[in-house]
Chains A and B, each alone.
Chain A
């Protein structure tokens, strides 16, 4: 039954989950814009972020210190990505003769399978949750899950920090420059392979952060990254591949459309509404809302 209260609650829920989806998409599009490669294993880094959050809270810190566990989990995922990139991705760009990015993409698919199976081997197929002691938050007259709302605020803070990193630091300047012209960055003296390593670490770290933040909201299990990976790719198709503002706006848009569809049409088809949005955007603007046409033929 339609009501203004339900509409507002649905919009808020959509924005909250959309911002968290956007974090994932931001990681995908960020890695693509610097390394020029799609990382298909992003969902698995999201999954690792969730497991790290679970382990930190259940084994060491407790649910009250979730806010300590979140940055530690994201940092852990950053380090895993930072260490894996020179071993798995860089050699594809330094040794392959042609279509280097294709080789690198295949490696990320292999990494996806390896990480997913490793998680199943180490943790079993069980669904786990670190739990949350956060009380329900009242947004005006409307209740919102405390864990969800905290995840939303942390995601906003992370996006703000990410923006400051890009805009206010030398590293951010080099990352923005390399996204526009890798050869230009090389002529400036930037060590591009090092920059790729850092960018890969940051990108998967964002996915890990999303995983850690959503661990108490959704369950953590070996394939928990699948749905968010799909959402992440839907968002970059809607927003435009390589566009950071596009990822943020499309993330919120996707979250809102899915929430509205689930509340006012039919909840079981929640994922379908996102795909419909993708189809509509592709029909109207094949490069996405903020993407630019690159391929000529």
Chain B
């Protein structure tokens, strides 16, 4: 497999001179699910925000499909085929479910046929959303809201999906559903870079693992090299210093 995303020596943060990411390097292979784990404050969400252009890197390279994308605006990154599902439920509560999906297909708006096909495909994949397409998204439950967040991203069938803590705050019964959604996105052809605190479930669905701490990679490799006991020990090490 070839690396779809290659990050080298990345420094980024929210305030100039205070970098959360401290020379982070990482690769995501085409078609894989790569999970990034680590203690709170390790820089996991900062990494995804930087990759999507919400934060500007202060140093380092970010190459997507061979193209340098570091420092680009989110709209330009989205147009390249990178989707971002943030940690909070990413829906527009006063828009209907269908309007939310239309927003998901924003970059297809000039191609009516492609947009109509995408909407049909997503509504076929998520029959529950099809049933409630004319209701406001704010009326959906937490799990359904998360489903809509993922479905919105799937409107453009992104080549790479950046997914931040998809199960945060969800009832345990809904967690399995969320991972099924991610698997559906993968089957549809998306490569996934997943940040997750739910280590056990994340490892079960991932191909590769990166453990990061203080903005640097502490350990990496295929998921088979990271049994839960080893991951727990590594995280404990990070926390205790």
Q: Are B106 and A186 in contact (CB under 8 A)?
A: no
* A90 contacts chain B at the CB level, 8 A cutoff: no
- Evaluate whether A181 and B92 lie within 8 angstroms (CB atoms) in the complex, with A170-B109, A173-B99, A189-B106 already known: yes
**Which stretch in B76-84, B117-125, B175-183 binds the other chain?**
B76-84
Q: Are A187 and B74 in contact (CB under 8 A)?
A: yes
* A180 contacts chain B at the CB level, 8 A cutoff: yes
The chain A residues found within 8 Å of chain B, CB to CB, are 97, 170, 173-174, 176-177, 180-181, 183-193
Q: Are A176 and B109 in contact (CB under 8 A)?
A: no
Contacts A181-B90, A188-B106 known; list 4 others, CB within 8 Å: A180-B94, A183-B86, A186-B75, A188-B103
Count of B interface residues, CB-CB < 8 Å = 29
Task: List the A residue with the shortest CB-CB distance to B152.
Answer: A188
> Which residues of chain B in 85-128 are interfacial with respect to chain A, using CB atoms and an 8 Å cutoff?
85-86, 90-95, 99, 102-104, 106-107, 109
Q: Are B90 and A170 in contact (CB under 8 A)?
A: no
Q: Are B92 and A187 in contact (CB under 8 A)?
A: no
Q: Can you sample 24 A-B contacts with CB below 8 Å?
A: A173-B99, A174-B103, A176-B99, A177-B92, A177-B103, A180-B92, A180-B93, A181-B92, A183-B86, A183-B90, A184-B91, A186-B74, A187-B52, A187-B74, A187-B78, A187-B86, A187-B90, A188-B104, A188-B107, A189-B78, A189-B106, A189-B156, A190-B106, A192-B74
User: In the complex, what residues of A have CB within 8 A of residue B99's CB?
Assistant: 173, 176-177
Q: Are B103 and A184 in contact (CB under 8 A)?
A: yes
* B219 contacts chain A at the CB level, 8 A cutoff: no
Chain A interface mostly: helix
Q: Are B92 and A186 in contact (CB under 8 A)?
A: no
Q: Are B94 and A170 in contact (CB under 8 A)?
A: no
User: In the complex, what residues of A have CB within 8 A of residue B85's CB?
Assistant: 187
User: In the complex, what residues of B have CB within 8 A of residue A183's CB?
Assistant: 54, 86, 90
